[in-house]
C-alpha cells in the first residue's frame, strides 16, 4: 500500500514538472507569435507559477506528513 502511494506521488511530481515545462514553452511560443501584444503570455506564465507553487507545497506536505518524513 505504501509503495503504491509513493509510486503514484512520484508520477504526480513528474507530471507536474512536465506541465510546468510545457507552460514555460507555451509562454515562449506566445511571446514569439504575438510579438508581446497579447495577454496569452501572461496567462501561460501565471499558470506556470501556480503549478510550481502547487508542486512546492505538495512536496513540503509530503515531506512533513508522508512517507518521506523523518
Question: What is the residue-level pLDDT of the chain in tens, covering all 70 positions?
Answer: 567 777 888 898 999 999 999 999 998 888 888 887 778 888 989 999 999 999 999 899 888 887 665 4
- Is residue 57 domain-resident? yes
Find how far residue 67's CA is from the centre of its chain.
21
Residue 23 corresponds to which cell in the numbers above? Answer: 507552460
State residue 67's pLDDT score.
63
Name the domain count of the chain. Answer: 1
From the list 3, 6, 40, the residue with the least C-alpha distance to 23 is 40
- Is residue 58 domain-resident? yes
Residue 38 corresponds to which cell in the numbers above? Answer: 497579447
- Are 41 and 34 in contact, with CB atoms under 8 Å apart? yes
Domain that holds residue 32: 2-65
- 38 DSSP assignment: S
- 24 DSSP assignment: H
Amino acid at each position: 500500500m505504501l509503495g503504491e502511494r509513493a509510486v503514484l506521488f512520484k508520477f504526480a511530481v513528474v507530471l507536474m514538472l512536465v506541465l510546468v515545462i510545457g507552460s514555460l514553452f507555451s509562454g515562449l511560443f506566445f511571446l514569439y507569435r504575438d510579438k508581446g501584444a497579447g495577454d496569452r503570455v501572461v496567462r501561460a506564465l501565471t499558470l506556470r507559477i501556480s503549478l510550481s507553487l502547487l508542486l512546492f507545497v505538495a512536496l513540503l506536505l509530503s515531506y512533513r506528513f508522508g512517507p518521506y518524513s523523518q
